[in-house]
Structure 1
């Protein structure tokens, strides 16, 4: 299950559908999480070198065969590694799309399913996509093998191994849907976007391509891109702040004229280096923001969901959370950032306390810094003003 060194094995010809980094060349890192039972497959995902892992999870079924949760791009490299698991543990029987919106997960399911023509495809309810609402058949989903997950999880053909619970929030222009899966035997909770954890150190996949880390480790455009451990660490921590907050408080964006003048003087004018453009300045206290964000890897809900999505239905979210919190799990595998995360049901429940009027506070809880969430709050205000977003519901 080693990564391939042949660039042809990384090829992803459908990258223009969702033109995100690394575009046409997507490397895959497979890691065994639970021996002979659970494996994660990671690829890169992002824009402007603000790159985080996007993750697929493969689980061995008790009766033989494999279930795939949230497929990634089925490159030659990725499919080869899955086939190695198939040879040992049986064919891919089920493919799960656990979300309803967002092409970044949906775009891979159809092509992945074509690589495993015996597999049944199950999707979350109320499918739609942004920015273009495309029918599943247009994305290559096999019509005769694709079904919506049964409302009653006990009716699913993989019910012996899994429980699942659907969160389905009607946003007017579409739904936010997340399907939490519990793998009973390993006590592992699978999630898509609702819970994340940010590790202090870069994810292992950056060993395959550290350039995004090095790009963001610089103080200005005049500084050369250098590969060393300190720059990799600094780059990852800054990328995390970018990815979570979009514009963290410790970041200053230089004016256009200054950015172009610096670009002219930059040591690298290649396309890979964006022709020398690097319009960012980090304040000296930026690491305080990162440490508040990471907080020793505690689980939390991304501020974009805390602000724009989950407050649209706080009681519905908490009902879902309370149901999931009754399950017996010891770890979470999410589709982004760190995984697996060692988390108890109580810690999972605590992460959603922002939806309550009187949130319970534990010694482990550490809120995100208000000043770092300012840009997302301003975004919410603008969307409300334009009538694109609706006001949040009252807390519970």
Structure 2
């Protein structure tokens, strides 16, 4: 029997979160045992009303379901007197505040860092936004697609002479959420050592640069990055690194000498193109020469041949194919939730494996305000005030 892992049991987090970055961050911590209280408007969080590819299960958003488990929902009208008081009481009894509204929004509600410090001097106040709270661009929307464009992610992914290509997933939101969770854990450890709380923040632009650490640092140190015209995977690797068409699909081939690859394919040498010293400067030309040789093989045959020669390679798969892949199935990446309205819903497990135990599903993603009365009671509100707050 697996031992439940509750490393953060006893840590309370007041989550003023929306969309993906904020909920993803606190879900990492909720999975580890933290008591996350998700504060929602009476109409419910934005992510309850939208789902990618319109994937609703009996009216329940899978977008909400994928990043809000192990949390409790508290509905508050933060602009009302009682709602504001309840939020401050929650903060006073919390270890961490997490918010990913635009900078200034929490301050306008009277719930910013200084207000939080007055009721909880050692509070850890964690925020995320597009550009950072002190940026002259702080009021611009910070959304994954916009940051992919501004930061260079989309340009890096494109080909010379073609339009930029954005990543097929909200990679900056998800990476930003992981960075925010990491920062919160570091701040908790700092407070345990020193007794000091602090404010911390993640700017999505900086999260994007962290994702692109190689090309960004190369460019900052003088590299002139140019998008390849062939299917080289990026702006800075040498041939044959890239995506190749096969007889029945595609495969990716990583760092390997051109001579070794040609030998594995059973082809005669590419005279003049197998010199390692030209593998970067003439990478498009080399890629053009290799393409027809690779395309003679089925994907399965190609992968078998190349792996026999210890060449790094993999098939290019659809999501459905990836989910059926034995390497993925071995990891057992999904957990199944039995939701009272949505029925059986699959979600990804906590992404880290721990030797001391396994994060557990303690709570289903909550209904709007499902635990409001319970939480307000914990905060010391009378039954009368609880009823007034609930009816707001």
Q: Which has the higher strand share?
A: 1
TM-score range, shorter chain: under 0.3
More helix by share: 2
User: Higher RCO, 1 or 2 (CA under 8 Å, sep at least 6)?
Assistant: 2
Structure 1-normalised TM-score? 0.26
In the superposition, the TM-score normalised over structure 2's length comes to: 0.26
Greater CA radius of gyration, 1 or 2? Answer: 2
